[in-house]
Amino acid sequence: MIVRNSLPSLITATLIAACGGGGGETALTTPAPTQSGNATIADVQGAGADSPLTGQVVSITALVSGDFQDNDTTSNSNLGGFFVQQENPDANTVTSEGLFIFDGANPATAVSVGDRVDVTGTVKEFFGETQIDATSVKVIGTGKVRATNINLPAAGLTINSDGDFVADLERYEGMLVHFPQTLTVSSLRYLEQYGEVVLAQGGRSYQFTNSNAPDAEDYAAHKKARAARSIIFDDGMRSRNPANIRHLNAGAAAGYSIRSGDSVTGLTGNLRFSRGSGGSGDEGWRLEPSGNVLFDDDNPRPGAPSVAGTIRVASFNVLNFFSNVDTGAATCGPQANQNCRGADSAEELQRQLGKTVTAMQLMNADIIGLVELENNASESIAMVVDALNARTGGERFSFVDTGSIHDDAIKTGFIYDSATVQTSGAFALLSADIDPRFDDSRNRPALAQSFELIGTGAVLTVVVNHLKSKGSACDSSGDPNTGDGQGNCNQTRAKAAAAIADWISTDPTMSGDPDYLIIGDLNAYLLEDPLIALKNAGFTNLLEAGSNPYSFNFDAQIGALDHALASASLTRQVSETIEWHINADEPRLYDYNLENGRDAALFDANSPYRASDHDPVIIGLDLAN
């Protein structure tokens, strides 16, 4: 195995009694023979990450504990081999009693769980997993395979070759194991590509700074604790992007579709250390299923949002909605010299547009602040408005015509219901020209527009934002990732937030009304410096009225990147604020994309689920004159 800087592990393992089950057991039909091989599985596995016998030819006798052979009667498992387990384990708790046997795409001998086999082959390390590359497999009898209980969190950790912490489960590699606990789905990022579901003991994992003040030492402890309680539940396949997504609809509830936040109890399978479907994907411990499982529908899909108040404002990241199809040519941006994003074909564009409009229609918002809209004159936002009007009938919806904004490939924008509100005065933009703290080479300019409620004359100014992401570094500007949980470019965002607050204090739209609402993708979690800067300036973060808010799932952790903050005068007019969880919890395979042979029938333009990767934030208001 790949050296993983193993730390001591204190996980307690107990054998499941024969009468207690635990999965994967078969009846004992022949007596156990004397060991006939020249090595035991413990000899092959050794006490470390790598086998001490790597490159040597060995023979072992053991029981088949997991059948994942290719081209056999089981069509939903094809790892190119099978797992075996020592029938008479030794007393050494450090060495594993399980092992994967690789026998290729066309195995000469078919095996079944419970078969006693003699195996000869060469010991190898394959992407971190100790294996025997078999040259001979003989079935010589049958026996009973018992699963070993494992409870998370693991007491010990290892570091994989990517430098990430993972639970130390080396002593169980290849073995049939049983997790008696309830484990919660924390990520579906690679469900489509590798068939995997990331699970966590103790409930969902939240981003550290969503509920903790930034701190390097505490953040390091957070990462370790999260690794200790996480495991990957695989699909038993080595093929990428399989036609049948094994866990997608694996639930007892009618019409079930798996979502982050759902759970499963009592999983049994073989434990392996690998990357997803071979050499790609995250490297870690994977549980290969012994059979089909059912997930509990703990986090059902929400229906159309119900939000108190006489007027609604929504913040909606539209996942790079571009009217120009991405052909690979650098033809987008205000100077038509940047790469396009979003849909890669006309068909994908229509799919993206359909889902986007469905979500907007169901929001029933009077004002929608858009994020990640193509930065062109008006073509992209006009396309959305035209489709929304066609869907709802009439010409109710309009947009604020800002033209292109600055020089990034994407911009923010406003759509509004002209039957309920109208613009009041001109829009305003915050850029580095107005306040040098606002680095517009990294943050998209803030866009402010005042709206008047038709019939009452009440005025509200909304400021929609898209601050610098955490995805790339700002070291060249003296703003490194300090390791306190706030990620890259924290000071760039914090300075921009302070500039936004000061800019608002000047009434940039000349509304003469103190009611201001800051919305958008601030790319900062609840207790990070940008949000603290806005709170210190007198704004109330409306998400804090709820419990455990989130709008995005990254690295199997959820947190709030999309926000709504009200000025002091507006806060008392807020009736309710919600995050509409239609996107962050959904697997990617429901979005508009058609790559990698995806089944086009999975898509439903009339469903809002996975319209984007961010959840919309919806604010209900009762505005006073």
The neighbouring-strand residues paired with 185 are: 199
Asked whether the beta carbons of 164 and 87 are under 8 A apart, the reply is no
In a domain, 4, yes or no: no
The neighbouring-strand residues paired with 411 are: 373
Residues 174 and 36 in one domain: no
Looking at residue 37, what is its pLDDT? 61
pLDDT digits (tens, 9 = 90+) for 450-498: 999 999 999 999 999 999 999 999 999 999 999 999 999 999 999 999 9
Residues 437 and 540 in one domain: yes
- In this prediction, residues 13-27 reach a mean pLDDT of 31
Task: State yes or no: pLDDT of 360 exceeds 70.
Answer: yes
- Which pLDDT band, with edges at 50, 70 and 90, does 266 fall under? very high
Asked whether the beta carbons of 585 and 261 are under 8 A apart, the reply is yes
Whole-angstrom distance, CA of residue 76 vs CA of residue 302: 31
Asked whether the beta carbons of 460 and 621 are under 8 A apart, the reply is yes
Residues 589 and 463 in one domain: yes
Looking at residue 278, what is its pLDDT? 63
- Print burial letters for 413-446: b (CB count within 10 Å at least 16), e (below 16): bbbbbeebbebbbebbbbbbebbebbbbebbbbb
Looking at residue 10, what is its pLDDT? 30
Rounded to 5°, angle at Cα 365 from 363 and 370: 90
In a domain, 187, yes or no: yes
Residues 103 and 129 in one domain: yes
Rounded to 5°, angle at Cα 23 from 181 and 287: 60
Looking at residue 514, what is its pLDDT? 98
- Residue 193 identity (one-letter amino acid): Q
Residues 234 and 120 in one domain: no
Whole-angstrom distance, CA of residue 89 vs CA of residue 15: 11
- Which pLDDT band, with edges at 50, 70 and 90, does 11 fall under? very low
- In this prediction, residues 145-171 reach a mean pLDDT of 95
By residue range, what is the domain housing residue 445?
311-621
Collapse the DSSP code of 132 into the 3-class scheme (helix H, G, I; strand E, B; otherwise coil) and give the result: strand
Domain boundary among 114, 145, 176: 145
The neighbouring-strand residues paired with 58 are: 121
* Closest residue by Cα to residue 446 from 516, 388, 355: 516
Residues 158 and 100 in one domain: no
CA-based end-to-end distance of the chain: 69
Here the tokens at position 518 are 């800051």
The percentage of residues in the chain with a pLDDT greater than 90, rounded to a whole number, is 86
- In this prediction, residues 401-406 reach a mean pLDDT of 98
In a domain, 297, yes or no: no
The neighbouring-strand residues paired with 566 are: 517, 540
- Residue 388: give its domain's CATH number: 3.60.10.10
Task: State yes or no: pLDDT of 35 exceeds 70.
Answer: no
pLDDT digits (tens, 9 = 90+) for 208-227: 999 999 999 999 999 999 99
Domain boundary among 289, 321, 338: 289
In a domain, 502, yes or no: yes
- Which pLDDT band, with edges at 50, 70 and 90, does 623 fall under? very high
Residues 117 and 87 in one domain: yes
Residues 178 and 109 in one domain: no
Residues 163 and 126 in one domain: no
Rg of the chain (C-alpha set): 28
Count of domains for the chain: 3
pLDDT digits (tens, 9 = 90+) for 247-259: 999 998 999 999 9
- In this prediction, residues 56-81 reach a mean pLDDT of 91
Q: Which residues contact 508 (CB under 8 A, 6 or more apart)?
A: 428, 430, 448
The H or E element that residue 176 is part of is strand 176-187
Residues 87 and 192 in one domain: no
Q: What is the mean pLDDT of the chain?
A: 92
Here the tokens at position 411 are 């911009």
In a domain, 304, yes or no: no
Here the tokens at position 52 are 């001490």
In a domain, 585, yes or no: yes
Residue spans of alpha helices (H) in 372-427: 379-392
Residues 252 and 360 in one domain: no
Q: Which residues contact 48 (CB under 8 A, 6 or more apart)?
A: 1, 3, 6, 170
pTM of the predicted model as reported, rounded to 2 decimal places: 0.92
In a domain, 299, yes or no: no
Whole-angstrom distance, CA of residue 228 vs CA of residue 253: 30
Asked whether the beta carbons of 381 and 415 are under 8 A apart, the reply is yes
Domain boundary among 145, 168, 184: 145
- Which pLDDT band, with edges at 50, 70 and 90, does 616 fall under? very high
Residues 134 and 154 in one domain: no
In a domain, 283, yes or no: yes
- Residue 458 identity (one-letter amino acid): A
- Residue 36: give its domain's CATH number: 2.40.50.200
* Closest residue by Cα to residue 313 from 547, 567, 517, 581: 517
